[in-house]
């Protein structure tokens, strides 16, 4: 563990000794900013900080080949400011990873739910399989926008579907989102 003032020249010229798995250099100008150098030559900036429960966490900021020292310091300072305001970046990533895709939500949550009480569940399943899933199946639920749904509805009508059929697809999507929120 070395404490240094990180400069672009130092970052460009530093190397990891062959007998070590990695060389870690801490920046003395920005608390928590770390440069990690691997024997392969890969250099990565990290931010080390204390989480809400007092445990140290490490967040990858980016590779030194893409970030300059000044950019890494600025990113570290902004991230530390967000942490001070109560926003844990790793917690936000964890929450985002939990959001299912539209297709997985359909298979795991929606279809089993409606099979238990809805007489027309087979019609819903057919509409989903033929019309909705090909368009939205690979997207995560939080990536689907209102504009995309409006465009989807408009294209359904332009393709010659009856207004009631196009509306039924939108009603199913709306019901699914309400179920996801619950």
In sequence order, which residues have a C-beta less than 8 Å from that of residue 49 and are 6 or more positions away?
32, 56, 57, 59, 79, 80, 83
pLDDT at 155: 93
pLDDT at 5: 75
pLDDT at 2: 65
CB–CB of 103/129 below 8 Å? no
Secondary structure of 93-146 in the HEC alphabet? HHHHHHCCEHHHHHHHHHHHHHHCCCCCHHHHHHHHHHHHHHHHCCCEHHHCCH
pLDDT at 100: 87
CB–CB of 102/133 below 8 Å? yes
pLDDT at 17: 82
pLDDT at 1: 54
Instruction: Return the axis-axis angle of helices 69-84 and 89-98, rounded to nearest 10°.
Output: 80
Give average pLDDT by consecutive 10-residue segment, the chain, 182 residues.
73 82 86 88 88 81 87 88 80 79 90 86 90 91 91 92 91 90 84
- Could you give the 3-state DSSP secondary structure of residue 169? helix
pLDDT at 153: 93
Q: 């509306």: which residue's tokens? A: 167
């Amino acid at each position: 563990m070395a404490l240094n003032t990180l400069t672009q020249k130092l970052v460009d010229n530093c190397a990891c000794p062959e007998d070590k798995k990695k060389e870690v250099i801490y920046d003395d100008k920005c608390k928590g900013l770390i440069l990690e150098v691997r024997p392969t030559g890969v250099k990565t900036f990290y931010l080390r900080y204390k989480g809400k429960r007092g445990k140290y966490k490490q967040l990858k900021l980016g590779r030194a080949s893409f970030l300059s020292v000044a950019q890494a310091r600025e990113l570290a300072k902004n991230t530390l400011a967000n942490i001070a305001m109560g926003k844990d970046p790793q917690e936000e990533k964890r929450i985002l990873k939990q959001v299912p895709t539209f297709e997985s939500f359909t298979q795991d949550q929606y279809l089993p739910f409606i099979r238990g009480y809805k007489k027309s569940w087979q019609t819903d399943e057919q509409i989903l399989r033929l019309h909705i899933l090909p368009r939205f199946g690979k997207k995560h639920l939080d990536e689907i926008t209102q504009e995309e749904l409006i465009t989807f509805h408009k294209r359904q009508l332009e393709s010659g579907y009856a207004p009631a059929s196009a509306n039924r697809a939108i009603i199913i999507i709306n019901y699914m989102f309400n179920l996801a929120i619950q």
